[in-house]
Amino acid sequence: MMPPEKLFESLVKLVIEFEQAFPEQPQYDPPEHERVRYIHALRAMYDFLRANNAPLHFTRPLYRLAIKLSDLNDGKVDPLLTPTPTDDKKEANPGKVTTAWIGHANAALGMVALMAAGGSQTEAARSAMRIIGAEESKLVSWCDEFRKPANNRRVWSSKACVIFDSGWQWIEMAANDSAACRRLAKHFFNRAATELRKQAYRFPRILSVAIPEPELPASTAIRTYCKQHSKAANAVQPERRIALRPSWSRRNDLPSDVD
């Protein structure tokens, strides 16, 4: 078993690498740049697990997923990342990705929560617009669509539907407490802003307000420890810093000890 101090040092290194891949104020770049961030994070997790003697059957899938993402930047599509046909024509669904649908679901939930607190749909849409940045007419449309019976919705993401239905139950339980409904609305609007911001490079007008990401408690604890033990923190700084750029995501710069 690895000594606790070595385990902690490897965890600090993992957090440092994740912060490089996913900074607190990220810039949402074109897909090939975003893939590099995920490749970097996969590599960091791979290194962490291998440093802590994880078996290859744990780490090999991370390596292979990084390779598959790297292939996308080289114009090659692995079968794992090929869309599954959704109709009799054997064609992939060209609609919005799940992340966008989840953003719509959370925006709709925030509006429903404000309406449960006594506001009108127009007032709820304007409140959502101030936080999320989407157009008022789109917000109203998303809200109307998700409030339809499940079998009548034109929502092409089962996960988004599950999120909306689950959130609606929370709103119904808080329906008699307007303050609680407003807190729920803020929570859902923030989640919507986070999800839709991931699509901002495709829809540059969709967001105008930046919502800070919540800081993970584990990350906070590690930062505190590093400040108190700067010598230990400096000792685990990566020896080689790799700029996040498309050219980094090449097969020959990925881990090479597994097939």
pTM, full prediction: 0.57
- pLDDT tens by residue, the chain, 259 residues: 667 888 888 888 898 888 888 887 766 668 888 888 899 999 999 999 988 888 988 998 998 899 899 888 888 888 888 877 766 555 555 567 888 899 999 999 999 999 999 999 999 999 999 999 889 999 999 999 999 998 899 988 888 999 999 999 999 999 899 999 999 999 999 999 988 875 543 333 333 333 333 344 444 555 555 445 444 444 444 333 334 433 334 444 444 454 4
Confirm if 98 and 159 have CB atoms less than 8 A apart: yes
Confirm if 249 and 69 have CB atoms less than 8 A apart: yes
What residues contact residue 209 under an 8 Å CB cut-off, 6+ apart? 130, 131, 132, 133, 193
Q: How far apart are alpha carbons 98 and 82 in whole angstroms?
A: 15
Rg from Cα positions in the chain: 22
First to last CA, the chain: 26
Q: How far apart are alpha carbons 173 and 96 in whole angstroms?
A: 31
What is the residue extent of each domain of the chain? 4-82+215-253, 98-197
What residues contact residue 142 under an 8 Å CB cut-off, 6+ apart? 104, 105, 107, 108
